[in-house]
Structure 1
Amino acid sequence: IYNLMDVASLSNSSSPSSAQELSWNNVIAAQVKLAGVDAPNTIVVSIPAYPGAVNELLSSRADDHTSVQAYLSAHVAMKATPLLGKAFSEVEMEYRKAIYGIDSERPRWERCVGVAES
């Protein structure tokens, strides 16, 4: 899915309006610094509502750090499953079957290319 968005439009400003919101400009700046590339003016966002939904989650759960930590931990774990071995990949595949209706895993070479490109 190709949703090109202007980086400046992800946040109204470079700093969040409340302590619980995420500064998307800072997130992108940190990622490009790690990658050693120049910051982009536009990015592809798979789900355009996601940045706002994350800020809404953080704002609505400001006093519930356990829920926010669980969400962020699950997100990191899902991104790391290709690197953690077969047992983790099998669990992720079961999750993908239940959530997305995917009934087979991509060939290993496609998964490797996906990891290399991410």
Structure 2
Amino acid sequence: GEASRSSALPWDQINSSEFNKYSDLNKIIPLLEKKHKSRVKIDPEYQLIIDEINDNKQARQQKEFSLNIEIRKAQLDEAEAKRKKREEEKSKLLGIKIEEKKEVDAPTSSKGDYQLKESGRILADYILLKVG
């Protein structure tokens, strides 16, 4: 490891800073998880994300590939068609226009950012539970 190198830094530890505990989240977290899980079960945008994750897992687990160019091209075309269909469903769901591009750009808007929206919903649930 690093300790065997001549340029290794000596061991050091930063002491914890003092803080006041805001509240005990151990009682609230199960309620927040329950609300989150009930939301994602019926959320079509979340289901699209799960479908994409499952397709990616399946593609990574594939160990054998055809050397026949026609078969391989058909498989790639099928995967591309699935991706396009999923993008079209997402654009209809979110009401955004998808442009045909060869490169993937970083998202410029939070409109399609599911994690951001769901984290906002979880925060809203937390606030409502705290306020009563």
If the length of structure 2 is used for normalisation, what is the TM-score? 0.21
Structure number with the higher strand fraction is 1
Higher Cα Rg: structure 1 or 2?
2
If the length of structure 1 is used for normalisation, what is the TM-score? 0.22
Which structure has more relative contact order (CA 8 Å, sep 6+)? It is 2
